[in-house]
Every structure is written in C-alpha cells, then in structure tokens.
Amino acid sequence: MTSSASNLIRRGGWFKETAHSEDRYFALESHGQRYRYTAILFLLTAGNPSHFHRLNHDELWFFHDGAPLTIHCIAPNGQYSTVKLGLNLAAGEVPQFRVPRETIFASEVTAPDSFGLVSCVVAPGFHYDDFELFTKNQLHRKYPKLPTVIDRLALDTID
C-alpha cells in the first residue's frame, strides 16, 4: 500500500479502497448502481475491532500479515460461529473466508499489541447504502445468549 496512515479511513480499524471495477451496473438487491466489485486493504489493531455490522452482499476476506483475526458471525437464523483468519493452517486458521450476505459480523485482533492486515472484496461493490451497523441494545434484544461478544464488539451508539 502506498498510502500513508493519514490517508486511511478510520471505522473500527483503518481501511482504504484499493480497487473497483471500471463499470457499474444496476444491482437488483441494492436497488441502485454499483461497481461490479470493490476491494479494500483493512488494518485492525488489538483494541480496535471492526464492530458488528451487516452487508447485503457476500464479502471475501484475505489474510496478509500480522496476528490472526477472529471473525465473529451471527447467521440470519441466529447461529453464532467464529473463524480464525490467518496463515497457521495447523492451528485451524484459514487464509481466506467468505462472510455470507446478511450475516451480522465483527472482527478483532486478540493478540496484545498486535495488528492484522487483510483485504476485503465485495461483489457487487461496497456502498454505504448496503451497510448496517448495530448497537449493543439492538443485538442484546435479538441475541440474548451472546452478551459477552456483543458487549465487546458492538457499539453503544451510532453517530
């Protein structure tokens, strides 16, 4: 990445869009024009998680460097699962992972004083109209059996 840290956008980690398709099309599920795909580099650090949110498109995650990330997923049927994104296959880590559309998910680096660098690709391309953040209260009401992870990775309020 050629950008300095000051060029990165802070949103539960730091990210920068690195690529998108040359053309756009009308994405029916989004009710609007979207790039065919978008890609970002995403840097997370210990203590700066990506908070619980949902996209209405699949998102592919690719691990590049640093400590492994834990991705916490709540499927549309309410089932909770985690995956370790990293390069140590013997430890059960995976170098890439698909977050299915409509999954509520968050990610974090759990190793102290560490970082994780990943790429994320969304198709159709990412647009804020297809993105939804969740508060602790919203998630506690819907998923009362997940208080610990919700308290750690959901926002108190959304500005």
**15 in any annotated domain:** yes
The count of structural domains within the chain is 1
| pLDDT at residue 8 in the model | 52
| pLDDT at residue 11 in the model | 61
Residue type, 39: A
Which of left, alpha, beta for 128 (phi over 0: left; psi -120 to 50: alpha)?
A: alpha
Q: Output the domain CATH number for residue 96.
A: 2.60.120.10
**158 in any annotated domain:** no
pLDDT, tens digit, 9 for 90 and up, residues 21-51:
999 988 878 888 999 999 999 999 999 999 9
**159 in any annotated domain:** no
Domain hosting 138: range is 3-153
Strand order in the sheet with 131-133: 80-85, 69-74, 104-109, 50-55, 131-133
Q: Are 93 and 105 in contact (CB under 8 A)?
A: no
Query: What are phi and psi for residue 149, nearest 5 degrees?
Result: -70, -35
- Give pTM, 2 decimals: 0.91
Residue type, 157: T
